[in-house]
Amino acid sequence: MLKYAGKDATAIFNEIHDYSLLQNIKKYLVGRISSASHSVTSKFHKAPALEKLVQNSPKHPFPHNTYENTYPATRFQWCRLKRHLNVEAANDECLPVLQKSKSEDNILRRMKTNLAVLHDCNRDWLHISCPKTYASVMSLKFRAIQERRHLVYCADPSSIQAQEEVLKKVLKFLLSQYSKRFQIDSTNSYVMTLTPGYKRKFCIRDYAQCPLLLASCLIEEDLYLVEKIAIESSDYDQPSDCEFRVIAGSSCFSFDINAKFRSSLKEIHHPHVPGFERHLQRHVHRFFSFLSKGKIWWRDNWQITPYPCYVHPDLPLASFVQEQGSKFTFENTSNHTHGLHDNLVSRCFWRAEFQTIQKLKTHESSLFTVHTYIEPMSSAVLNPAIAASLSCAIRRKYKGMLHYMHIGQASRLRRILNFLDETVKCQVEMPLIDPNILPEPWNRKSLEDGTFASKAEDGNCKRQKHTSISKL
């Protein structure tokens, strides 16, 4: 922050960090920065109607059960509406030229980890959905585990101790938070699920060699164990003598565990994920290097998809699992209307992942969990604040990631954003964000970052699926 000495850096700090970071460094507090002498709020944010939308938006996406019957997937962006709109400060004269440029390296668009400390670790690190959703998801998951175990579970024999710790953590959570929906018989070593539609009895001893798989049969989350591995050399992008590899995983909805198993974080993400090596790799490696025991961190991820499936369409499991609901591509509809009546967009879904990371207490491994949520895009038209937050989130997305999500083409982006903007226009004068500060996505170019993204601009290259289909 020294490069901003003498100038207000509050907005840029808030853009990069979550406020919860400050709660963990109180012992180092030496003083307080005085409040800014001038407002950083853009003229585009001063409309009373928009201020009301921001004021009525929740500050936190927790507890989970508050949103499970309303906006389970879009709540993470809804809570960021104020942050999404606060873009003028990132174009302030106090920032370096790089940050003010129209490049994808601009602070408004560059990739961010969005990691934050989970305040109520006992309550929120896992989420057991309402009985109907839980039964539907777990029935699908259990069937996949029973019939296609090789597609959803991998583990190194050395990970058994860490898996046992994870299972104990999960059982402790279920007993403390959902005692009416789970029953554990410690004497006879049984655990039972009591939710109608998914009533099962599991013998814990039967899973002595795969405790992570039993945990996965009880909760909706995908589970991964990441271990620190010593290496001989290091470079700028990996500034230490270690790397972090996936040593075990049970994954039905989020990742292809066969493709990720024993891979390092760098190998998992690059060159498959645009912007990771350029913006995130060093930050992620540093985070895992200094991850301490006793804290749980969380982040969220999102995607717009035409598939109503919990199983990601890129996974090998997708061809095996048949879920209710039509599957279609962005192009296979003859309805070319736009705005609120755009049949294509209204039939799409907002897919969100709630992810947590924590270091285990008795083993030098870290636990990574992923809970998947699916919500129809049509629900956004019921709440202008959510439509505004989704619109801003898309506009602020790194351009390469838009191609990664198959919505980078200008025609798709325009239709999606028109659909959301029409909802917002009913209450707020557009545009939400000054286009002179944040150009529209179709007016930006993907960077050459070692991935397919820069070639996808002219349609000459498509994302290559990072799956293990060819191996199985």
Task: Give the model's confidence band at 39: pLDDT under 50 very low, under 70 low, under 90 confident, else very high.
Answer: very low
**CB neighbour burial string for 259-297, b if at least 16 within 10 angstroms, e if fewer:** bbbeebbbbbbbebbbbbbbbbbeebbebbeebeeeebb
Residue 202 corresponds to which amino acid? F
Q: Say what the pLDDT of residue 470 is.
A: 32
Residue 111 clears pLDDT 50, i.e. is over it: yes
| pLDDT at position 326 | 42
pLDDT value at residue 325: 42
Residue 261 pLDDT > 60:
yes
| Stretch 87-94: mean pLDDT | 58
Average pLDDT, whole number, for the chain?
A: 82
Taking the chain, what is the end-to-end CA distance rounded to the nearest angstrom? 50
- In whole angstroms, how far apart are CA 27 and each of 14, 22, 35, 294, 396? 20, 10, 21, 17, 35
pLDDT at 431: 80
Angle between helices 384-395 and 410-425 (to 10 degrees): 150
**Cα 424 → chain centroid:** 24
Most confident of 65-69, 213-217, 327-331, 442-446: 213-217
Three-state secondary-structure class, residue 265: helix
Residue with more model confidence, 121 or 18: 121
Please say if the pLDDT value at position 394 is more than 60: yes
Per-residue pLDDT at 24 exceeds 70: no
Q: Average pLDDT of 71-75?
A: 95
274 cis-preceded (ω within 30 degrees of 0): no
Contact 314, 395 (CB under 8 A): no
Long-range pairs for 25-29: beta carbons < 8 A, 24 or more residues apart: none
- For 448-470, what is each residue's pLDDT tens digit? 888 988 888 777 666 655 544 33
| Domain spans, the chain | 42-471
Reported as type and span, the H/E element at residue 246 is: strand 242-250
pLDDT reading at 34 higher than 70:
no
Q: Could you give the residue ranges of the DSSP H alpha helices within 348-446?
A: 384-395, 399-404, 410-425
| Predicted pLDDT of residue 196 | 97
Considering 85-94, 306-315, 369-378, 439-448, the range whose residues carry the highest mean pLDDT is: 369-378
Q: What is the pLDDT of residue 403?
A: 93
Residue 40's pLDDT is 37
DSSP line for 35-63: PPSS----GGG--HHHHHHHHTS-S---S
What is the model's pLDDT at position 454? 86
* For residues 312-322, average pLDDT: 79
pLDDT band at 52 (very low <50, low <70, confident <90, very high): confident
- Name the more confident of 447 and 34: 447
**Predicted pLDDT at 101:** 64
Q: How confident is the model at residue 360 (pLDDT cuts 50, 70, 90)?
A: very high
Tell me, what's the pLDDT at 10?
A: 64
CA distance 416 to 422: 10
Question: What pLDDT does residue 387 have?
Answer: 93
Predicted local confidence at residue 319, as pLDDT: 79
d(CA 208, CA 48): 60
Q: Please report the pLDDT score of residue 239 as a whole number.
A: 54
Residue 86 to residue 51: CA distance in whole angstroms: 12
Q: Flag whether pLDDT at 46 surpasses 60.
A: no
pLDDT for 312 beyond 60: yes
Eight-class DSSP state of 279: I
Residues 6+ apart with CB under 8 A from 374: 73, 308, 309, 310, 349, 350, 351
Using pLDDT thresholds of 50, 70 and 90, give the confidence band for residue 332: very low
The answer to whether residue 38 scores a pLDDT higher than 80 is no
Q: What was the pLDDT predicted at 37?
A: 39
Mean pLDDT for the stretch of residues 277-288: 90
Q: Which one has a higher pLDDT value, 342 or 171?
A: 171
In this predicted structure, the answer to whether residue 301 has a pLDDT above a threshold of 60 is yes
Residue located via tokens 């309550």: 123
Query: What is the percent of the chain where pLDDT is above 90?
Result: 50
Give the single-character DSSP code of 234. -
What pLDDT is attached to residue 324? 39
Query: Which residues, in sequence order, are CB contacts of 297 under 8 Å at separation 6+?
Result: 115, 116, 117, 118, 287, 291, 356, 357, 358
Provide, rounded to the nearest whole percent, the portion of the chain with pLDDT above 70. 77
Residue 42, pLDDT above cutoff 60: no
What's the average model confidence in pLDDT over 153-169? 96
Residue in 189, 194, 217 with CA at minimum distance from that of residue 204? 189
| pLDDT at residue 363 in the model | 83
Residue 397 has pLDDT above 90, yes or no: yes
